[in-house]
């Protein structure tokens, strides 16, 4: 398309006699056309902001966050750090972040109570370095609380919402229905994204073909006219062949039906008066 537009400008420069284009402009046009033909021209394409699709990961692939627990007798000295994830209404605690790390006994979210804490509300026990928010978990399995840390405040709010939903969705059927709904919503979003990507690719491909055909038509005007006439004549002849073939098929079908009817009919006999006269 750019080659065709530059050639049109070059044709205008050759035809205009009022000095609209100087010799330097003509040389620049020729140099630009030559660069486009050789593939040396630099083309700037504007793009939109990159967006990342988020999908629900498997339990084994999810990132494990930090969990801190303290001993009952000496909380200040006996600090232990573990990793955890929340899955299917349970708090899964791992020894470390290794993929094959051993998992402790899972804790049910519906039997635990969570409290939101930040550095402005409480300092006992002291916050870990680099964290300003956390969740304190009180459960009947332990006499001391558990502390869930994350650097993302939105993730802490999602954890708190998970504890609230666990107390509401008590039955297994309710949790299964919620899981299926989330899966369908996620799959629907991904499917729409793929459909949009496929439509965008098809539109870009069709645009490229259209621009290429238009550029070639502008560059090869004489050949384009002859090629257009040739295609019209070819299509007309092919249409005539198709119609002739259909007529032959219909004629053969009509003759076969006619012969079939004649084969099933009986020969008509002469009346008695005509038989007597003939005798």
CA angle 163, 164, 167 (to 5 degrees): 90
Residue 6, helix vs strand vs coil = helix
Token representation of residue 10: 């070059």
Q: What are phi and psi of 235, to 5 degrees?
A: -65, -40
**Contact yes or no for 115/96 (Cβ under 8 A):** no
Q: pTM of the predicted model, to two decimals?
A: 0.41
- DSSP, res 103: B
> Is pLDDT above 50 for 28?
yes
Q: What are phi and psi of 131, to 5 degrees?
A: -115, 140
Query: Per-residue pLDDT tens for 132-171?
Result: 788 788 887 777 788 888 878 788 888 888 777 777 766 6
Nearest residue to 30 via CA among 50, 55, 11: 11
Number of neighbours of residue 117 by Cβ within 10 angstroms: 18
Q: What is the reported pLDDT for 238?
A: 92
Q: Give 275: exposed, middle or buried? Use CB within 10 Å, 0-12, 13-18, 19+.
A: exposed
**Contact yes or no for 93/107 (Cβ under 8 A):** yes
Domains of the chain: 2-38 (no CATH), 65-170 (2.30.29.30)
Nearest residue to 63 via CA among 40, 29, 92: 92
Query: Per-residue pLDDT tens for 83-142?
Result: 787 777 777 877 777 777 777 777 777 777 787 888 777 667 777 777 778 878 888 777
Nearest residue to 85 via CA among 57, 64, 68: 64
What is the CA 219 to chain-centroid distance, rounded?
38
DSSP-derived pairing of the beta strands 133-138 and 113-118:
antiparallel
Between 13 and 69, whose confidence is greater? Answer: 69
């Amino acid at each position: 398309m750019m080659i065709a537009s530059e050639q049109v400008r070059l044709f205008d420069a050759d035809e205009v006699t009022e000095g609209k284009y100087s010799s330097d402009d003509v040389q620049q046009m020729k140099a630009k056309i030559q660069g486009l033909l050789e593939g040396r021209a630099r083309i700037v394409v504007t793009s939109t902001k990159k967006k990342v699709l988020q999908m629900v990961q498997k339990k084994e692939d999810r990132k494990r966050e930090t969990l801190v627990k303290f001993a009952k007798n000496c909380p200040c000295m006996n600090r232990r750090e573990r990793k955890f994830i929340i899955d299917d209404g349970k708090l899964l605690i791992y020894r470390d972040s290794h993929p094959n790390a051993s998992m402790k006994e899972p804790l049910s979210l519906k039997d635990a109570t969570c409290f939101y804490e930040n550095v402005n509300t409480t300092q006992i026990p002291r916050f870990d370095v680099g964290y300003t928010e956390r969740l304190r978990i009180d459960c009947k399995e332990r006499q001391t609380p558990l502390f869930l840390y994350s650097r993302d405040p939105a993730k802490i709010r999602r954890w708190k919402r998970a504890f609230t939903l666990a107390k509401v969705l008590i039955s297994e059927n309710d949790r299964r229905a919620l899981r299926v709904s989330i899966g369908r919503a996620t799959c629907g979003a991904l499917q729409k994204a793929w459909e949009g990507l496929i439509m965008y690719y098809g539109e870009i491909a069709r645009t490229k073909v259209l621009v290429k055909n238009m550029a070639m038509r502008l560059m090869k005007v004489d050949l384009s006219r002859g090629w257009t006439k040739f295609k019209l004549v070819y299509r007309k002849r092919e249409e005539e062949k198709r119609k002739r073939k259909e007529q032959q098929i219909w004629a053969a079908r009509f003759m076969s039906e006619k012969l079939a009817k004649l084969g099933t009919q009986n020969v008509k006999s002469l009346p008695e008066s005509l038989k007597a006269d003939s005798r």
